[in-house]
Structure formats: structure tokens, C-alpha cells
Amino acid sequence: MLEIFHHSKDFYQLKELEKIAPKVKGITMQSVKEVIQSLLDDHLIDSEKIGTSIYFWSFPSKANNAKKRKVHDLQNEIDDCSKKIKTTEEAISVESKGREVGDERTEILSLLEMVQKQEDNLKRELQKYRDSDPEYIAQLKTEIGDLKSAINRWTENIYILKSYIKNTFQMESNVIDQSFNIPQDFDFIDA
């Protein structure tokens, strides 16, 4: 079908192609429309609606230009990749300066490892004495005060609820305590 366009270098309507294709190339009349659609999907032919008619065409130079454009795009991609590789290799060589394996580097790395182990040991030692740290003790006192306030707030809420139950359902205080498992020594905590 593509050869029909390339040999004649002319414009065709679908009806014309349905007449020409069976005679020239042996393509059945029923499959011409499918073949044309396939060529359109692959961008091997072009089409344009002019008025009420749709015209199809393809020139040999279009396929050649498409291939040249694809080659050019791939060449640009190769060039970009080559530049990235060169830049990366330069960065590796710059970063590897001073990192050559030698006695001095090995000595420095072993010293670093020793200092890191010593730091870990000191942190563990410091953690042992944390209970005596004045800042830590002050923080604990603040947290304990906040917790006591929260406990007293919930205690107040429970007393309000007990009062509501007592007045609404006419229940005794000790019956409410037994029903909800409230201990006998339940009371506010001194702040």
C-alpha cells in the first residue's frame, strides 16, 4: 500500500484506494481501510480532511526524514550519555585523590574507629549517671506535676459522674462504687 503512495506521489481518497489497491497490489477491497488506518497509526502516511473529503498521501522523503530524525535524536542521546560518563569519571578521580590506600590512611581510619568506640563507651557511661542529672530530675518533677494534675482532673470527672448517677437514678454512693469497681480509698492526689 505504501508503494502506491511512493510511486505516484499523489493524493488519494479512500474510495480511490479501494479501487486501486486490489488491482495494483492485490490487497482486498475490504481490508484497504484497515491497512490505511494501520499506516496512519504508524505515521507512515498523512491524512487531512478538506471539506467533506479525507485525503491520504505519503512521500518517500517522509520515511527517510523520519529515519534521519530518529538517528539524530539517538546520536544526541549518545552524546549526552558520553558527557555524563565523562563528568562522572572526572568526579570519581577528583574524589579519590587523597583516598589512596596507604599506611597513613590505614592509620587514620583505625584511629577514627578507636575514637568512635571510645565515644560509644562514654555515652553508655553517661547514661548510667543520668538518674543523678539535675536537668533530668527537674524534667521528671515537671512531668510528675503534670500527671498529678491530669489524675486530679479525672478524679473530679468521676465525682461529677457519680453525683449525676446518684441524683438521676437515686442510687447510693457505695452501690455506685461497687457497680463501677471504684476503690474505697479513691480520692484526689496531693500536688
Average pLDDT for runs of 10 along the chain of length 191 = 78 82 79 84 82 84 79 94 95 80 82 96 87 85 93 94 92 90 88 60
What does pTM read for this prediction?
Answer: 0.36
Domain 2-58 coded CATH 1.10.10.10: yes
Give how far Cα 62 sits from Cα of 5, 46, 54, 56, 66, Å. Answer: 11, 10, 20, 14, 6
What letter represents residue 176's amino acid? I
Q: Is 46 exposed, middle or buried (0-12, 13-18, 19+ CB in 10 A)?
A: middle
Q: Where are the domains of the chain?
A: 2-58, 135-179
pLDDT at 9: 79
pLDDT at 191: 60
